[in-house]
Structure 1
Amino acid sequence: MTSPVSNQPQKMEMGLNPGMTGLPPSLQYLAGLDQIIIKQKIEALEVLTGFETRNRYAVLNNQGQQIFFVQEESSLCERCFCPMNRGLTLHVTDNNSQEVMQFSREFKWCTGCCWCGEGCCNMAFAVESPVGRRLGTVRTGDSKCKAHMRIYDASDKHMFTLWGPCCPCQCVCGCTDDIDFPITDPSLQTRVGNVAKQWRGCCVDTFTDADQFCLTFPADMTVDCKALLLGAVFLTEFYVFEQQKNNNNSGGY
């Protein structure tokens, strides 16, 4: 069981970014980190019945201590009948149950694909941190055969790009390596971080749909950018791996 960081307010001495006054201490805590782990909680009801439940995640530091908890808010009807299209809000709370971030998307009839990621099927997460303060959006992009996502700030300036592999597959038959989604600048010339879908072992990855990701970034990156990259992890989860799991469950590719 992961232990929470109970003394987040006492860890604020390390490397605060300029202009961070007024932010909750738990957000300021991000200033000193260069890596976080996002671990999806295993839902017993979903494992036993295949019923799509609300997703929950623990966000951990590299010591395995919980720094945030993420819970999905979505319609039961949409989860049952159109899980990939569902509108949702992900509420990010700290260890004091204070909501410090929010990622949201609207319901769409089209679930998005590599060929029309920027068209009518565009999937986008709006990022707020703290809640009510819009930081920007993470959107899918056209990419032909690879998962492609772009990160924009509040003024719609293109900040970062993520590219996934052609076949983001993991299985017990041999594809047990981590799946990397490099984070680059818009020119694709400079790599600034990475999102890795981690292999959690045969039983977890084969018999459940609980995913685990590792997000790395420069320690001196602004907290706003780190929050946007965290939003990109969740878009990767829903755009790539939730679709993959639902296709497998329905017998599709």
Structure 2
Amino acid sequence: MIVCTRNFCGAARSFVITIVDNSGREIIRLSRPYRCSTCCFPCCLQKLQVEAPPGTTIGFVKQNWHPCLPKFTILNEREEEVLKIHGPCVPCSCCADVNFELKSLDESSVIGRISKQWAGVVKEAFTDADNFGVQFPMDLDVKVKALVLGACFLQDFMFFEHTNTNK
């Protein structure tokens, strides 16, 4: 089944990612069900659930419909809005980083960033490896930090997933 979803669903496939600590204990679980990932179907937008510890939902990352821009909302465990994320119109770039801005709820100020970092021509052309950077305020709630990390993984799958990868 995994081979079928990887080959036929590509970046839209469902996933569960576990993040473990140094002792191998699972501390965060990111879950995304299969969803159609096209702007023509605003009823099937992406939604990632974040659990920390596994079994305790701390929030969600929800894609917002927009005809041109990648937009997301970070929600707490009660599905109340916490932060907004705005990406560039074309979420790919040659020779430069691709930045998704973390914004306040009223979208008036940028408080951080998720960046897909440019790794150079050779690495970008011949490998599926990507480097990401996440910046947020030091005093941001630890649960929201985990949700921002989850948003980073979701954006990787949605915009930077290579079709021939075995992620």
TM-score by length of 1: 0.61
Identity fraction in percent: 35
Specify the code of the residue in structure 2 equivalent to 1:142: W
CA drift of 1:197 comes to 0.8
Which residue is equivalent to 1:187? Answer: 106
Which has the larger share of strand? 2
What does residue range 165-176 of structure 1 map to in structure 2 within 5 Å? 165-170=88-93, 175-176=94-95
CA drift of 1:140 comes to 0.8
1:198 to 110, 117, 134: 117
Q: Distance in 1 between matches of 2:23 and 2:139?
A: 25
Query: Does 2:50 correspond to 1:127?
Result: yes
Which residue is equivalent to 1:67? Answer: none
Specify the code of the residue in structure 2 equivalent to 1:211: D
Which residue is equivalent to 1:215? Answer: 134
1:154 to 67, 77, 87: 77
Residues 147 and 240 in structure 1, CA contact (< 8 A), matched pair in contact too: no
CA drift of 1:219 comes to 0.9
Q: Distance in 2 between matches of 1:112 and 1:152?
A: 22
Provide structure 1 residue ranges, at least 5 long, that are not aligned to the other structure: 1-73
Kindly report structure 1 stretches of 4+ aligned residues shifted beyond 3 Å.
none
DSSP-derived class of the 1:226 partner: helix
Residues 12 and 158 in structure 2, CA contact (< 8 A), matched pair in contact too: no
Specify the code of the residue in structure 2 equivalent to 1:181: F
For these two proteins, the number of residue pairs brought into alignment is: 164
CA drift of 1:81 comes to 2.0
The change in CA–CA distance for 1:234 and 1:138 in structure 2 (over 3 A counts) is same
Which residue is equivalent to 2:150? Answer: 231
Answer with 1 or 2: which has the greater Rg. 1
Which residue is equivalent to 2:19? Answer: 92
Query: Does 2:27 correspond to 1:111?
Result: no
CA drift of 1:121 comes to 2.2
TM-score by length of 2: 0.91
1:142 to 61, 65, 82: 65
DSSP-derived class of the 1:167 partner: coil
Residues 93 and 100 in structure 1, CA contact (< 8 A), matched pair in contact too: yes
* CA RMSD, 1 decimal: 1.6
Q: Distance in 2 between matches of 1:169 and 1:227?
A: 24
